[in-house]
Amino acid sequence: MFSADIAGHQAIRQRLLDRLQGGRIRGSLLFTGPEGIGKRRVALEMAQREICFRRTACGQCEGCRLFQGGDLPFELPNLLRIVPEGKAGVIRIDQIREGLDSNNQPRFSRGVIEWASLAPPMNCHRWILVEEAHRLNESSGNILLKTLEEPPPGTHFILVTHRPEALLQTIRSRCERIPFAPLSPKEAWAVALRHGWQEGDQPRWSALGEGSLRFLGEADFRRAEAQVDAWIALMAGRPFSEAAGPLLPEKESTQAQGEQLRQPLELLLRLLADVARIRVGETPALLPWREELTTLATPQRDLKAPQEAALEALRHLPRNLSPEPLIREVTLSLVS
């Protein structure tokens, strides 16, 4: 009854299936947990299973093929996907009302609220998947509230996010929260092997991923790896102009600058936590970088100032339009 392509989360998937079959599933669900652990795939599986000719999300039939491929449609017979748009990377009110993209072109035939009120296909529910739900702005979030509170019969919302604290409290209160834990190292690495990774990559890949699949793409992994090395170089006193390049947003990326900056800042917090662990004789989480971090774990190094600087930068990312000054300011706290 489950897709073989999804790793882990078996207990949650079984519980959701049991409740769905028993008519006991809530109209609005909030899937939370670390980024890249498969929350979105579990949400898609619920819709895919209903379209599957075998009702198992087999991945082989014509129904399942609708859900396959990297360019998943925004609208399927029983599924509507809402995703962030544009350089700002937000979900705007016109997407909810009219189904428009950042160029005011139709993404799907009706607005979300109208789509939700339609009768579902035979033997199916209507699923509305809000990806990266923390990217709802205040206006788009507010317009969803009434529908989230009382979805039409046969319609279910699934909001997926790794930052539930960034959602409006009124949205959180209207959804049943389903928390997802990271994959086990064995589960995550098994997926990596299927995607062509080699055993020699396992230590760094697993350490950076922390039970997630965020770095299945080699370019994403190499960038994270370079960001760790850049922070270590800056902590060791290397000039900003020489070492900081990997920490700055890529101009050609479709991802919003703020979201691009989030990863290096979070990696810095992980590095500082590992320096603190080494000081007290504990094993660092980023074990492949232990030797480099040990040289930085001197008693005189201040860890509090850069931790506070990184956290402050993360709090202000949505409003920050100057990436280089922000990273430079955090870097100054490393050597002050």
pLDDT digits (tens, 9 = 90+) for 216-226: 999 999 999 99
Greater pLDDT, 52 or 71: 52
143 lies in some domain: yes
Give residue 131's pLDDT: 92
Domain of 140, in residue numbers: 10-179
1 lies in some domain: no
230 and 106, same domain (yes or no): no
User: Which tens digit of pLDDT belongs to each residue from 80-92?
Assistant: 998 887 666 788 7
pLDDT-derived band at 1 (thresholds 50, 70, 90) equals low
18 and 166, same domain (yes or no): yes
Strands (E), the chain: 28-32, 75-76, 79-82, 126-130, 155-161, 176-179
131 and 64, same domain (yes or no): yes
29 and 111, same domain (yes or no): yes
26 and 169, same domain (yes or no): yes
CA–CA separation, 56 and 77 (whole Å): 17
16 and 128, same domain (yes or no): yes
Q: Which of 131, 149, 179 is the last residue of a domain?
A: 179
36 and 162, same domain (yes or no): yes
Q: What is the mean pLDDT of the chain?
A: 88
Q: Please identify which residue in the block is written with the tokens 């959804």.
A: 175
- Our count of domains for the chain comes to 2
Give residue 233's pLDDT: 97
Q: 80: left (phi > 0), else alpha (psi -120 to 50), else beta?
A: beta
187 lies in some domain: no
175 and 222, same domain (yes or no): no
Give residue 192's pLDDT: 95
The answer, yes or no, to whether residue 103 has pLDDT greater than 60, is: no
Query: Two tokens at 63?
Result: 């129904």
198 lies in some domain: no
Q: Which of 179, 207, 234 is the last residue of a domain?
A: 179
pLDDT-derived band at 321 (thresholds 50, 70, 90) equals low
186 lies in some domain: no
- Mean pLDDT within 188-213: 94
Residue 139 sits in a domain whose CATH number is 3.40.50.300
152 and 225, same domain (yes or no): no
200 lies in some domain: no
Residue 237 sits in a domain whose CATH number is 1.20.272
161 and 287, same domain (yes or no): no
pLDDT-derived band at 75 (thresholds 50, 70, 90) equals confident
pLDDT-derived band at 336 (thresholds 50, 70, 90) equals low
Query: Two tokens at 255?
Result: 């991802």
The answer, yes or no, to whether residue 232 has pLDDT greater than 60, is: yes
Residue 106 bridge partners (DSSP): 100
Helical H runs in 236-297? 240-243, 257-279, 290-296
Give residue 284's pLDDT: 96
Query: Two tokens at 281?
Result: 């004789």
